[in-house]
Structure 1
Amino acid sequence: MVSSLLKLLCIACLITAAHSSAAQVLKTEDVIFKAQKDTITFGATITSPQKKGRYPAVVIVSGTGPQDRNGTMAGHPFFEQIAAYVSESGYVVLRMDDRGVGQTTGVYSQATTRNFAMDALEAVQFLKSYPAVDTTQIGLLGHSEGGAAIAIAAAQCADVKFLVSLAGLATNGLESLFVQNESLVNSSKLSAIDKKRSNEINRLMFSVAYQYAHSDSLKSMLETTYNDWKLKDDVYFQSLGIDRDMFRFPLYSYVNHATGPWYRYFVRYNAEMVLGQIDVPVLAINGDRDTFVLPENLNNWQQYTMAGRHQKVTTYLLESTNHLLQHCETCQPSEYASLGAIPSSTLAKIVDWIRTVTKS
C-alpha cells in the first residue's frame, strides 16, 4: 500500500533517554521453523532480553503486500524498530518474513488474509517452545491488513492473550476497498471528470467482485460489467465536447487480481462477525490522517468486539499521523519515504499498555 529514500536513523538514537536508562540488553536470534498445519517453513528473527527468565511475547503481523521480517516500507524498517523498542522494555518479539519472502517458503499471491492469520498462529505455537517465553502471555501486533489477520487468529485460538492493532483494519473488506481506492483517486492528479469516472467504475467492479466472489463466473461478470459501463461512459464523454479521452481502466490486470484467492477472500471479509468473537484485551492505534485505514476503525474495535463490551479495548487517535504512524505534513503515500520512523512516544504507548495487560 505504500525517489531517493532516506536512511533510517539508528534505532538506538530514536529511543528516549528515559527509555534507554531502563532498557535491557537484547539477545537477537534468527530462527527457522516449520508450520504444524501447513507445508510452509518460516524464517524469523526473535529479540528478547539477555537476562534469563520468561517474558511475555509478541508476534508482529504485516499488512498488505509481501514484506520482509523488518517490515521495510518506504525505505524504513518499521518492524525492526518496533521489535527493538518492545524487547528493550522486557518482552520477546518475533518478526517473520512473509510467504515467498526471504527465508519463508510459499507463494504470497496464492495466500489469503486467513492464511496470514494461520501463519501468525504458527509463530505463536513456535514461541510456546521458546525458552524465554511466558507461554500464558503471548499476543499479536498487526499493521494495516495485519489488523484483520490478528483478529481472525484471536477468534480461532485461545493461546492469543492480547492484540495490538497499528492502523489495523476493522471494517469489512468491500468497504475498505471503497475507502482506500477513493482516497487514492481523490488525491491523484486526475481531472475532476476522470476522478468521477474512476470512482464510478471502481465501485461497480468492486460490488460485482463482492457479489460473485465465490462463483466461477466472476471473470465473465466483471468483463460484462465493464463493457456495459464503457458504452454508457463513451456517450457521457462525447457529451463533454473534449477532444481526447485520457482515462483508462486497467481491466485486464484488475480482473486477474480480483479472481485470485486473496481478493476473493478479502472482499467478503466480515469484520463485525470476526471481531465479535474476540474477548481479549485490545490496543488500537490510528493516525488521524491515515488515508488507507480511517480513524473510524477505532470505533469498530470498540463496538464489534466482546472485549469492547467488557471495557478491554484501549484506543489512541494520533494527530498529524499517517498510515505508517509517522508524523506527517501532506500525509499522502508519496511523502512516506521522506519522513522519519515511528515516534518513540507512540512506541511508549504500546509498551505501557502491554505492561498493564501482562502485569509485567
Structure 2
Amino acid sequence: MNKIRLLIAALAVFTQTSFAQNFIDKEITFKSPDDSISYAGTLSIPGGNKKSPAVVIISGTGRQDRDGLMAGHKIFKEIADSLANHGYAVLRLDDRGVGKTTGVYEHATTADFATDALLAVKYLRSVPQVDAGKIGLIGHSEGGAIMSIAASKSKDIKFLISLSGLAMNGYDALISQNESIVNNSTLPDYDKARSNDINERMFKTALKYADSANMEAKLNETYNTWKVKDDAYFRTLNIKFDHFRFPVYSFVNYAIGPWYRYFIKYDAAKTMANIKVPVLAINGDKDNYVVPEANLQNWRNYIAAGGNKNVETHLLKNVNHLLLPCITCNQAEIPNIKSGVSPEAFHIIFSWLKKTIK
C-alpha cells in the first residue's frame, strides 16, 4: 500500500512538473528596413541560462493574429507554449494589418510574407537568449510555401517544420483544394460537376492572364461564356429550381488582387529545389484544404530534386487541417472539438527536433 501511495505521489509531482510553465512570454516589436511596417508579436523564452534553439511560426492564408485563433482554437499559442516548455524559443507575430502589426494585409503577396519571415529570423538572431545558429521556421498551410521561399533565400534558416503545409504550385493547389471542398460537400452530384467545371475554367484564365492588365475582362468573359452553356445544360436536367450560384463578382475582385496574381503563378518545384536544410512535414489525412498525400509527396520529391534528401514526412489518421483530432472531420465540427493539437503531432515534432537540432 505504501508503495502504491509513493507511486501516486510521484506521478502527481511528474504531472505538475510537466505542465508547469517553464518559460516567459515577452511582447516584442521590430520594424521593416524602410520603417513602413511595424511588426508586433510574442516571444516565448525558455527558462535557464543556456541559449535556446528558436522557431518562427508562419501563418497560412487569411488574416491571422499571433495566437492563430481559428474556429475557437488558438493553434499557434498552443504550439508555442509546448515548444517553449521543451526548451525552444518561439516567435509568433500578428499578420500585417492584424492586431498590433501595421501594414495592409490585402496588399501583400506570398513573397511579401516570406520577407516578413526573414525579418523575424533577423530579429531572433539579435536576441541574447537565442542560439543564432539554430533558428528554424514552422509553417502552417500557405505558411509551407512562405517558409519555402524564405529558406531558399537565406542561410540563416537551419530547419523547417511543415504543419499541413503547402508544397504545390499555386494553380495546382487552388484546383485540388477547391475540388476537395466541393467533393466533400453535400451538393448534389450535378452541382459538384458544375462547380468543378467553372472553377477550373476561371483558374485557368486567371493563370493565363495573371500578369495582364485585362485579367478582369478575361475572367468575366470566361464566366459569361460558361453561363450560356451551363444554362442550356441545366435545362436538360428537368429540375425546377437552380440553386447553384458561382460568386463571380467577389471571385473576380479577389483574383485581380496582388496576392492571387502572385500565388497562382507560384512554382513550388523550382522554389523547393533550393531548400538545403532538414525538413519535417506533417499532414492530417482528413485535411480538406491542403491535400495530404500529394503535398507530402512533393515535400519529399521537390526537395530531393535539389539534392537534399533530409526530409521526413508523416500522415496522421483522423486529423484535420488544424491538426486537431476529428470524428466527422468537416468544417462544422471544428468549433466543437474540445481537444487541442494532436498529441501524436507533438510527439513527432519533439522527437525530430531532438535528433535533428538539439
SS at match of 2:270: helix
Q: For 1:60 and 1:321, how far apart are their aligned partners in 2?
A: 20
* Residue identity (%): 50
**Structure 1 residue 40, shift from structure 2 partner:** 1.2
Q: After superposition, give the CA deviation of every residue in 1:249-284 in whole Å (9 maximum; x if it has no partner).
A: 111100000000011111111110000110100000
Q: What secondary structure, in the 3-state scheme, does the structure 2 residue paired with 1:160 have?
A: coil
1 CA distance for matches of 2:27 and 2:334? 28
Listed as ranges, the gaps of 5+ residues in structure 2 are 1-13
Deviation by residue 1:314-349 (Cα, 9 ceiling, x = unmatched): 111111111111111121122111112102331122
Summarize deviations over 1:53-78 as a string: whole Å, max 9, x none: 21110000001100000001110101
The C-alpha deviation readout for 1:198-218, integer Å capped at 9, x for no partner, is: 110011001100111111111
Alpha-carbon distance between aligned partners in 2 of 1:299 and 1:318, rounded to the nearest angstrom? 14
For 2:212 and 2:160, locate their aligned partners in 1 and report how far apart those are by CA, in whole Å. Answer: 34
Conserved? CA contact 2:319–2:342, under 8 Å: no
Q: In the alignment, does 2:196 pair up with 1:199?
A: yes
The letter for the 2-side match of 1:57 is: A
Q: Which of 321, 324, 343 pairs up with 2:319?
A: 321
1:179-238, Cα deviation, whole Å (9 max, x unpaired): 111122222232221111111001100110011111111101000011111111111112
Task: Report the more deviating stretch, 313-322 or 36-45.
Answer: 36-45
1:290 aligns with: 287
Q: Is 1:183 matched up with 2:184?
A: no
Matched, 1:220 2:200: no
Match of 1:9 in 2: none
**Residue 335 (str. 1) matches residue 333 (str. 2):** yes
Question: Any residues of structure 2 matched to 1:66-105 within 5 Å, and which?
Answer: 66-105=63-102
How far has the Cα of 1:23 moved from its partner? 6.9
Distance 1:219 1:117 in 2: 27
Q: Is contact 2:54–2:88 with CA below 8 Å preserved after alignment?
A: yes
Question: Larger deviation: 57-66 or 184-193?
Answer: 184-193
Is 1:266 aligned to 2:263, yes or no?
yes
What's 1:154 paired with?
151
On the 8 A contact 2:180/2:291 being kept in 1, the answer is no
Structure of greater relative contact order (alpha carbons < 8 Å, 6+ residues apart): 1
Q: 1:299 to 1:150 in 2, by over 3 A?
A: same
Separation in structure 2 between the aligned mates of residue 292 and residue 20 of structure 1, nearest angstrom: 37
Q: How does 1:1-360 map to 2 (within 5 A)?
A: 20-21=17-18, 25-36=22-33, 39-295=36-292, 296-306=294-304, 309-339=307-337, 340-358=339-357, 360=358
Relative to the length of structure 1, the TM-score reads 0.92
SS in 2 for 1:32: strand
Q: TM-score, normalised by structure 2?
A: 0.92
Secondary structure of the corresponding residue to residue 254 of structure 2: helix
Q: 1:6 maps to which residue?
A: none
Return the letter of the residue paired with 2:152.
Answer: A
Partner of 2:8: none
Rg: which structure is higher? 2
Paired AA for residue 69 in structure 2: T
Change (3 A) 1:81 1:20: farther
Instruction: Give the superposed CA RMSD.
Output: 1.8
Q: Which moved more, 1:237-246 or 1:46-55?
A: 237-246
* Structure 2 letter corresponding to 1:315: T
Offset of residue 307 of structure 1: 8.3
Residue-pair matches, total: 344
